[in-house]
Every structure is written in C-alpha cells, then in structure tokens.
Structure 1
C-alpha cells in the first residue's frame, strides 16, 4: 500500500519557511483581534475618559472599531493563508498577489501611523515570509525547474 505524499515533499526549505511565516501572520492577526475583544471594557473606559462620552456611546464606538478591526484581520488572514496555499499548488500568480496584499497591508499601517509593537511583529513576519517566497529556490520550484 502506497503512503500518501505530503504536499510539502520536494518543496524547497525557503518555501516551507515562508508557508509557516504566512500562517504565523494570519494566526497572529486573528489572535490580536480576539485579544482586542477581550479588552473591550478597558478600551470603552479609555474612550469614555479621553472623549468625555457617556459609557453607552463609548461602548458603541469601541464595538464599531473592533468590528472593523476584526473584519480586516479575517480578510487579511484569509488572503495570506489562501494565497500561500495557492503558491504551494504552484500558482505563480498567487505569489504576486500575496506580495501586493502584503504591500497594501504594510503601506496602510505606515499611512495611519499605527506603529505599535504588534504591528512591528506583523511587519517583520511579512518581510521574512515575502523574502522566503522570492528566493531563487522558490522561483525555480514554481517554474518547475529541479535543482
């Protein structure tokens, strides 16, 4: 009886590392969104104090912000994970789409000036994953060349 072959068998180490890093970016974004929801009360209290708003209005503002943040995290995580999987399926266009998605993500962080420790972690993970996916060994593997 033949043993099923892993989809990772025969892939270059840089590609495997990149897959892990893209996965880590997606998971990190989702965990960060979840942690924000768990900190809802603290965020509401801060908005109440800083904006001098009633608690109900502050809670609505925080909820709306967290809904947008969660939606963006889900879209980005899904995009990173699906596109990385498509690269594994040797769809070279997915590597370009992944690069565009990562660039838009990083540029939006820069544009909004949201340099927090967690965004710095995301930035480092994205740059490392991108570098792995654009290594020569990955390019050769995508084009079908065997080394």
Structure 2
C-alpha cells in the first residue's frame, strides 16, 4: 500500500522511512510518538503513525484511473533499472540445485551435550556435596578403620 501511495505522489521516502508529500498532507495526519521512559536508547522507542482520512481512498482511486502508471510514470524505473535499495538474498554456498545442507551429526551431538550440560549444571554441585562427598568420606573412614584393625592384628 505504501508503494502505491508513493507511486501516486502521496508519500515519499523509502520503506521504513516514508513521509507525507504536500499532496499526502491533504488526506493524512502524521503523529510522532515516543515512550520516553529514560535510560538506554533501545528501551525508548519512537515512531510515527499516519492516519488517512476517508477521502484518501477516493482520491487514490481517481488518481489510479487517471494515471495507471503512477505519479512518476515517466521517471519510474523499468524492471531492468530497478533502483530499490533492497537486494534479494541468495545463498552462495548451496550447489544451486535447491537442496539445503543439513547439520552434521557431530555438530548436533556437540550442541546436545552443551545444552545438556547447561541444564544439569545447577544440580551437579548440590549432588556432589550432599551425596558423593559424604559417601566417599564414609567409605574412606571404613577403609581406614579396617586397615587399623588389620595392622593391630599383625
């Protein structure tokens, strides 16, 4: 819709940064909004909203009927000379026959081990301190007692 409004002279600018032209100001109202809560910039978004009047649809329809090629029909780029700042993404690593490479089993195993370690980590220290250490101390004390009894017998 924004591209259509731009084509017929109601908006100017690029995707994500459109603004009203003089023609567009007759049919729309722009408002600036800011959360402004302080702190870091990423927590304080600002944005503009555009509210179009009911007459805008009728005016755009009339413009489309009068000039199907748009406001800049003579200046608009053809398919060969597209001036869009956006380029289609392409993956140069694929072989070109449409198949997508799958992750290796080795990579999946390593990833699974890392995730498992992260999930188990909070439980390891309490298990070690509450189960393994006391059992090891009890076993060592029992072995030490057994050695002292055997050495006393000899």
Query: TM-score, normalising length from structure 2?
Result: 0.22
Rg larger in structure: 2
Structure having the larger proportion of residues in helix: 1
